[in-house]
Structure formats: structure tokens, C-alpha cells
Chain A
Amino acid sequence: MKDGFRQSMAWLHTWSGLLVGWLLFLVFSAGTAAYFRDEITLWMKPELHQAAHTPVPQAVALGHAQALLARRAPTAQRWFVTMPSEREPAVRASWVPAKPEAKDGAAKDAKPKGRRRFESAELDPATGEELNKPRATRGGDFFYRLHFDLHYMSPIWARWMVGVAAMCMLVAILSGIVTHKRIFKDFFTFRPAKGQRSWLDAHNVTAVLALPYHLMITFTGLVTLMFLYMPWGVQALYPSQDRFFTDLNNALPADARPAKQAVPLAPLAPMLAQASAAWDGAPAGRVTVNFPGDANATVLISRQSGRTIGYDQPDMLFDGTSGRMLSSTRHTGAATTTRSVLYGLHIARFSNPLLRGLFFLSGLAGCAMVATGLLLWAVKERQKHAKRLAHGGRHIGLRLVDGLNLAAIAGLPVAMACYFWANRLLPAAMAQRPEAEIRWFFIAWGVTALVALARPTRRMWQAMLAAGGVLFALLPVLNGATGGAHLVTSIAHGLWPVAGFDLVTLALGGALLLAAWHLQKPAVLKKPSHKPLAAEAA
């Protein structure tokens, strides 16, 4: 650590990367899957695959949703309508049921700690018919939440853990760049079957090829939760974070109340038309009605996301009884816009399918970068202690790293695949179905982790990769067999979200099987080793 800047940075790179590597692998994998959370959710609700997808005017879809809401939730506090889009063909009407009447003191106690309970229904936008209630599932949202809230633990603790890991990652990336003498040459360098060199080359290739992405995703990831990690800037200026968020989101002040005086809601279609016209014809993404049917009703219409990189969408607020526009979107300052763009870059909702595919590939490169980095440490360490290990010496740290590497890198795909299998094999009407699906994810991962820690051998790598490969590659078959639109139908009908899921899982399964098959070839190493994982280096 004393031998010059580059060496000390190499040391920092190694340790900041290794210590949080396994958690980072989980975050990267789940986050990468979350780019397609809508598609995953759709795949996991095969009941919705048949919904016809014919574009309808937004006013028609909104009208159907409003009719349903007026029928089903006339006394609700708030209505939300999520307009149909290419990624989610159905129109979704949700509402927050009216609070039971209570005195002020009691109301405070009754304030729900978690999220407010929503109820919702999904409609065919053209006919307004309610779609078959799909099976209950967390769908792709599970991966989205998993990548920063983890599971089975307090989300705040989880976010701190993930934040520490992300900060280590940021440090590892920056120190990795500094360590790198020949960043450009490494673009074109790969020396296969050369043991440690090959792992280093693979690490460099996956890291350097997608370097801007890695740097961006890590920094923006921290930015999405920065008010939790670094509240001091806000605290210096605001008495409470709530106040700050009201300012930031330009939200309805928390003390808005219904007037308790029934006044019919003004027609929504003209408001929709006015908003859309102001956005050069861009469609609306969400319509919120506060206190529908009350004299204090307001209607907030926000633009469909996916038009700009920034996360914040412009919106327009209307008086709910007269239909008059009250305010149109905020003026946004430089810092607000910067944050909105950083946030938007992270979640990538702006991108068309091709661009999102590239984000997905970069995310996979991130997984590979973390994985090769972890393996590289093990390979190097084994070489350093080759003599001692050859004479039956023990290296507890290395043994642990071997086990964790196997559990994370080969075990996680098995767990993810099991989640999808559980989605189709558990009874559709089962109680607490979403939790049961998630439980299968963790059961599968727990089993692979135990096996991995017990016997981190080359055989075990092969077996686990093969298991993950088979489970993934057969998902398209499972889909067709359990009521989903199988590949032939989905491609023929242009149901690309579903077809894409099947094709991607097929490819991932193929890649895992290829890796398993590759391990069967005799290891090419300078010094043959009896120890199982050294052979990994081939």
C-alpha cells in the first residue's frame, strides 16, 4: 500500500470490490431484470396474454375507467387511472377507499404505517370490460424491489446495505480506472485458456466495454436514494424532509381536505385534450382525481413517461368541478432537472425496446464484471498459496470465497428460474400466492447456497450452471403449457413483451448450458492442480 499511487489504488480496487461483491451481484442481476419489469409481470399473468391490443383514443379508455370507478368506488378519496401503453396494454383503474370516519386523535393513530391499501381493476381499453382477474403475483416488481430493498428485512436497513455496497462499487470503479494503464488496448485483448490472464482479460473487457454504463448506473443508483444516505443538505434548509418533498414534487399540500359537499365531477375528456395539446400531442400517462364528487375535487394529469430522459413528467392540475386549469407544470431549475435526468437514466423508462435491450446487455456485462472480479480474486489467491495448498494446507478465506462465488454466480440463476416456475406451477387461486412464489425463490437459493458452501467443486459448478440453464431454457415450454401465449402465437400476434421474455430466457438458458458444457473440457493450466476451483480458470 506504500508503493505508489497505482499500487495503493489496485489494493483499494481489490478490497472494496471483493467485500461487497456478492451483494453487488444480486443487485446487478435483479436490477438488470427490472428493466423489463412490466414485461416480466405480463408474462407472469398469463390470463392477460389474450387481451386484444388495438390502440384506442385515450378519451375512450379514460371514459371506461371513469365509469367503472364511479360504479365501484363512488366514495373513494382518490382515483388513479393508468393509461394503456405499448408496454401495458390494459387500462388500470385504482382507488384509495374512503377513510373510515374518526376523530382527529384516533385518525392519527390509525394512519397506516406502510403503503396505503390500493384496490384496482384492469380493463380492456376498447370495450371497457373488466379483464379476468389475473393470478396474484409480484411479477417483475419483485426484482425491482429486491435490488434495493432486499427481502425478509427492514427496507431501511436493506437500503443502507445496498448503499454501502454501491459506494464501494463507485470507489472500486474509480480506483479501477486509475489502476488501468492500458485502458484502450484492453478493448482488444483477450487471451483465452490462460488461467489468471484470461480472467483478468474477461474482467477488463466486461468492465471497460460498458464502463460509462457502470459508472452511470452506480452513481445514479446512489442518487435515487440520496436523501436517505445524505440528508444533511436538506436538513440544513428544511425543518423536515416531508416539507422538502412537497417542494420537490410540487405535490398537493398534505392538508388538502374534502369539502363534504357533493358536486358532480366535470367531464374529463376536455381536460385530457387540453393537457395533451399543451404537450404537443403527447399522450397522458396517469390521471389522478382527488376527492371525486366533492366540491374540492381536483384532477391531475401527467404526461406519459418515455418521452424524455428525465424522470419527472410535466403535469397539469384542473379544478374538478369547473374543469378550469389551475396550474400547469412547474418551472424547473438546473439542479431539479439534473436530478430528474440522473434518476431517469437509472430507471431507463425513456428508452425504446432496442435501447432498453442495450441497457439490459450492459447490466449483464455488469453482472459479468462483478462475477469475473470475484473469480479473479480466488484464482490469484490460489496461485499465491499454491505451494501451501498443494501440501494439504488450508485457506479458510479462499474456501469461503469459493463457496460464496458458486452460491451467488451459479445459484442465483437457479433461484430466479424457480421463481418463474413457481408462478406457473402453484395453484392459481392459492392464498398469499405472491409470497409463496417469492418463498420458492429463496428456498431454491438457500439450497444452492448450502450445497455451494459445502462442496464448491468444479463438478458442482457444472451441475448448478446446467440446472439453471435447463430451468431457464424450458420456461418458454412451461409458458405455452400453462395457459400463456406460446412463442408461435405471441410472435404471430406481435405480442412482443411475452415473446421477448421467452426468447431472452431461452438465450440465457442456452448461455448457462454452454458455460456448463465448457467446464467439461479438460482444464488448460500451466501447473495442473488438484484443487477443484483452480481448474475454473480454464
Chain B
Amino acid sequence: MANALKSPGWAYRGGVLARAVAAIGGGYGVAALWAAAIATWLPAVKVEAALTGTMIAFVVYPCAVMWCFAARSAARAWVGLALVALPAGAALALHASMNGGVA
């Protein structure tokens, strides 16, 4: 904020842009991965599993957005997103390899 009050420099603007991309695009990606991972791995009827994954994704997304702007730097924001995406991505990949196809 202090930075914002002075005429914001390009470094600051670039940081905001990097965070915004992380939040909007990266956050959506993380949410989508979790939606698919939960849907495939939840031991429930298909409709139920798909619904559960989709609804949880809408909690993941805003939290990811907030994280991206709360992190100390844009780089940290991206690293955090990657860490959260990892288990979901791994679960999906595992499922795909077990079923011998793209999930």
C-alpha cells in the first residue's frame, strides 16, 4: 500500500500483474485439478462424486486467489499454487495410468 501511494513503479505494477495472472489463471487451474481429482477418487456414486468435486472447487478457487495476493512475492504465490496443485495432479495422473488412458 505504501508503494501504491507513491507513484507506483513498474516493478510494483509487474508484481500486481504476475499475481493477478497467478490468481485468475493459476487459481482456476488448481481448482479445476482438485475438482477432477476428487471426482475420480471419491468412493461414491458417479453423480455424487462429480458434484462433490465441483462444489469443493468453488471453495478452493477464492482461497487460492487470496493466497496469491497475500503471499510475500509473486514468485512465492506461484510456488504455493504449484504445491497445492501437485497432489491433485499426481492423483489424476495415477488414475489415468491405472486406467490406461487420459482421465
Contact = CB atoms under 8 A, between A and B. Distances in A.
A386 to B, nearest CB: 14
A400 interface: no
Contact of B52 (A2, A7, A335): A335
B55 A223 contact: yes
A230 B50 contact: no
A364 interface: no
Contact of A12 (B57, B58, B69): B69
Nearest to A7: B1
A482 interface: no
Nearest to B59: A219
A175 B16 contact: no
Q: How large is the interface on A (under 10, 10 to 19, 20 to 34, 35 or more residues)?
A: 35 or more
B77 to A, nearest CB: 11
B2 interface: yes
A236 B3 contact: no
Nearest to A173: B62
Interface in A69-118: none
Given A171-B66, A175-B66, A233-B38, A244 B50 contact: yes
Main secondary structure of the interface of B (DSSP, over half): helix
Nearest to A5: B70
Interface string B33-45: 1011011100011
Contact of A236 (B4, B39, B47, B63): B39
B42 to A, nearest CB: 9
A135 to B, nearest CB: 41
Nearest to B31: A230
A399 to B, nearest CB: 19
Contacts of A227: 54
Contact of A232 (B1, B35, B51, B63): B35
A183 to B, nearest CB: 17
A8 B19 CA distance: 12
Contact of A222 (B32, B45, B46, B58): B58
A231 B50 CA distance: 9
A1 B58 contact: no
B47 A336 contact: yes
B12 to A, nearest CB: 8
Interface in A1-44: 1-3, 5, 7-12, 16
Interface of A: prevailing SS: helix
A390 interface: no
Interface residues of B, number: 40
Contact of B4 (A11, A222, A248, A339): A11
B39 A339 contact: no
Given A3-B2, A11-B1, A333 B47 contact: yes
A208 to B, nearest CB: 19
Interface in A159-193: 167, 170-171, 174-175, 178
A238 B51 CA distance: 12
A167 B25 CA distance: 13
A237 interface: yes
A274 interface: no
Contacts of B55: 223, 226, 335, 338-339, 342
Contacts of A16: 65
A435 interface: no
Q: Which of A3, A244, A333, A342 has the most CB of B within 10 A?
A: A333
B17 interface: no
Contacts of A167: 61-62, 65
B53 A233 contact: yes
A335 B40 contact: no
Contact of B48 (A7, A333, A342, A384): A333
B80 interface: no
B15 interface: yes
A234 B47 CA distance: 8
A8 B4 CA distance: 11
A236 B1 contact: no
Contacts of B48: 333-336
B85 interface: no
7 contacts: A9-B69, A12-B69, A171-B66, A174-B62, A223-B55, A230-B58, A333-B45
Interface of A: 1-3, 5, 7-12, 16, 167, 170-171, 174-175, 178, 219, 222-223, 226-227, 230, 232-238, 244, 247-248, 333-336, 338-339, 342, 384
Given A234-B39, A335-B52, 10 more contacts: A1-B3, A1-B69, A12-B66, A175-B66, A230-B54, A232-B54, A233-B38, A238-B46, A244-B47, A339-B55
The 8 closest A-B pairs by CB, nearest first: A233-B53, A233-B35, A233-B39, A335-B51, A233-B54, A236-B36, A333-B48, A232-B32
Interface of B: 1-5, 12, 15-16, 31-33, 35-36, 38-40, 44-55, 57-58, 61-63, 65-66, 69-70, 72, 92, 103
